[in-house]
Amino acid sequence: MRTNIVLDSKLIEEAFHFSEKTTKKDLIHEALEEYVANRKRKDLLDIAGKIEFTEGYNYKEMREDK
């Protein structure tokens, strides 16, 4: 999708400092991907403590099988 937006030039320069991207387009795509991943991760945190495991469940034992 094509769109025109006004970006904070200082913020863009700072973002380039933390990224290996070389174009604004790639930088914005990377930022959006990280934003979405971060929001999804927060949704998973909402269910923390609400999952009941089967009695005797041992995640460490399952790791040893691999």
Q: Is the pTM of this model over 0.85?
A: no
Per-residue H/E/C for 35-58: HHHHHHHHHHHCCCCCCCCCCCCC
CB 19 within 8 A of CB 32: no
pLDDT at 66: 53
CA 55 from centre of chain: 32
- pLDDT tens by residue, 8-66: 999 999 999 999 999 999 999 999 999 999 888 877 778 878 878 788 888 788 787 55
